[in-house]
């Protein structure tokens, strides 16, 4: 059952006896609220508006609709979704505009909402269908055509904006990938989307986002979401000599099945090696440290107490790439992982 909120009922309603009154005032009078309201407060309470209220700004109508219909699940601690539909969360912090999606459904460049592009806006796509991948996933057997029309018009009205990577960061598909990947940064989180067979053997196939690092240092990341495209879908932190598929590297990963591993390739185009760590589904913290030519991988459940997994010696130059890596371990699928609290430090 969807719970009612005061901002949903803070408006006039015509009752069966013909009387029109503010619902909050009437509910308070009937003793349905946990405390009796001071009627002078009511005009200052938040108020949602109807999607069909053309006198209200379109953005207010859309955000009211999403709060009333989506925010029970799409909120911190709710469903495994990357955006917050609550009305009282500022739009810039909701991860709606250019927000990452957990399953891009094979649509290159898909985000929750892509300004000016209804074809790549996953929210619009999923509310427009009934059946597999519909939203909401339960209790729906018709499309709300009013919502589709208004939300589509709002998306089309938005100015194009890109969730670009931080300064000095670059991203690239490495090796032979089935579909192009991408990386973006929004509200402190990195979203990587990747296909790829694996990061393994003599040549890798994945998406990478990183920045140059000179000398000793470390990279830390919190993997908050890693969808299941294969048991060995991998999300991790990496030191890499270059962006060639056979590059030397050190890598600390968690997998979709719930494992962890420290991997490395000590010679260019050489075989890879791996040391299994403890079980660790996302969300988990991972860290790589460089001290000279020694690279060490760590795992943590809380980002404070770290467990060493393994170390390796790799003769690398003074400057290399430090960054994030994702492979779907399934070149016919796209995986979408989310990382936050990412730091690269000398």
pLDDT of 103 reads: 87
Cα angle for residues 78, 79, 85 (degrees, 5° grid):
70
Cis peptide before 283 (omega within 30 of 0): yes
pLDDT of 3 reads: 66
329/228 Cα distance (integer angstroms) = 10
Please give the share of the chain, as a percent, with pLDDT higher than 90: 82
pLDDT of 150 reads: 97
Strand segments, DSSP code E, in the chain are 12-14, 20-22, 170-174, 182-186, 189-194, 206-214, 217-225, 234-240, 249-255, 260-265, 273-276, 284-291, 294-300, 307-313, 319-327, 335-345
- pTM equals 0.80
pLDDT of 176 reads: 97
Band (pLDDT 50/70/90 cuts) for residue 282 is: low
Task: Tell me what the pLDDT averaged over the chain comes to.
Answer: 94
pLDDT score of 284 more than 70? yes
pLDDT score of 29 more than 70? yes
Nearest to 1 by CA among 72, 71, 66: 72
Query: For residue 180, how far is the Cα from the chain centroid?
Result: 18
| Contact of 254 with 237, CB cutoff 8 Å | no
**Residue with tokens 């796509």, as numbered in its chain:** 125
pLDDT of 79 reads: 76
Query: For residue 89, how far is the Cα from the chain centroid?
Result: 17
Please give the share of the chain, as a percent, with pLDDT higher than 70: 99
Q: What is the pLDDT of residues 168-212, one digit of tens each?
A: 999 999 999 999 999 999 999 999 999 999 999 999 999 999 999
| Contact of 325 with 219, CB cutoff 8 Å | no
More confident residue, 299 or 35: 299
pLDDT of 1 reads: 44
| Contact of 316 with 326, CB cutoff 8 Å | no
Contacts of 302 by beta carbon, 8 Å cutoff, 6+ apart: 285
pLDDT of 80 reads: 67
Q: What is the pLDDT of residues 235-277, one digit of tens each?
A: 999 999 999 999 999 999 999 999 999 999 999 999 999 999 9
Q: Domain ranges in the chain?
A: 77-163, 170-345
pLDDT of 242 reads: 97
Taking domain 170-345, whether its CATH number is 2.60.120.200 is answered by: yes
């Amino acid at each position: 059952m969807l719970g009612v909120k005061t901002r949903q009922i803070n408006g006039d309603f015509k009752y069966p006896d013909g009387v029109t009154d503010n619902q909050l005032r009437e509910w308070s009078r009937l003793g349905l609220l946990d405390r009796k309201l001071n009627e002078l407060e009511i005009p200052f309470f938040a108020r949602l508006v109807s999607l069909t209220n053309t006198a209200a700004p379109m953005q207010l109508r859309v955000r009211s609709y999403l709060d009333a219909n989506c925010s029970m699940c799409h909120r911190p601690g709710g469903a495994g979704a990357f955006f917050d539909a609550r009305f009282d969360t500022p739009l810039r912090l909701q991860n709606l505009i250019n927000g990452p999606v957990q399953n891009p459904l094979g649509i290159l460049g898909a985000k929750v909402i892509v300004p000016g592009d209804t074809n790549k806006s996953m929210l619009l796509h999923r509310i427009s269908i009934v059946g597999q991948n519909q939203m909401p996933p339960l209790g729906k057997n018709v499309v709300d055509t009013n919502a589709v029309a208004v939300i589509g018009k709002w998306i089309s009205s938005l100015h194009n904006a890109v969730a670009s990577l931080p300064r000095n960061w670059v991203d690239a598909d490495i090796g032979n990938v089935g579909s192009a990947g991408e990386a973006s940064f929004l509200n402190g989180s990195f979203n990587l989307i990747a296909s790829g067979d694996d990061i393994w053997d003599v040549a890798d196939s994945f998406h990478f986002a990183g920045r140059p690092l000179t000398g000793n240092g470390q990279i830390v990341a919190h993997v908050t979401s890693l969808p299941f495209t294969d048991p060995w879908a991998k999300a991790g932190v990496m030191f890499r000599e270059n962006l060639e598929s056979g590059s030397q590297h050190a890598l600390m990963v968690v997998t979709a099945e719930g494992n962890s591993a420290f991997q490395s390739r000590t010679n260019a185009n050489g075989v890879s090696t791996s040391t299994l760590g403890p079980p660790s589904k996302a969300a988990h913290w991972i860290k790589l440290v460089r001290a000279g030519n020694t690279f060490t991988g760590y795992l943590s459940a809380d980002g404070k107490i770290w467990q060493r997994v393994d170390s390796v010696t790799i003769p690398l130059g003074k400057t290399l790439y430090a960054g994030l890596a994702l492979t779907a371990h399934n070149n016919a699928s796209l995986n979408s992982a989310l990382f936050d609290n990412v730091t690269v430090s000398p």
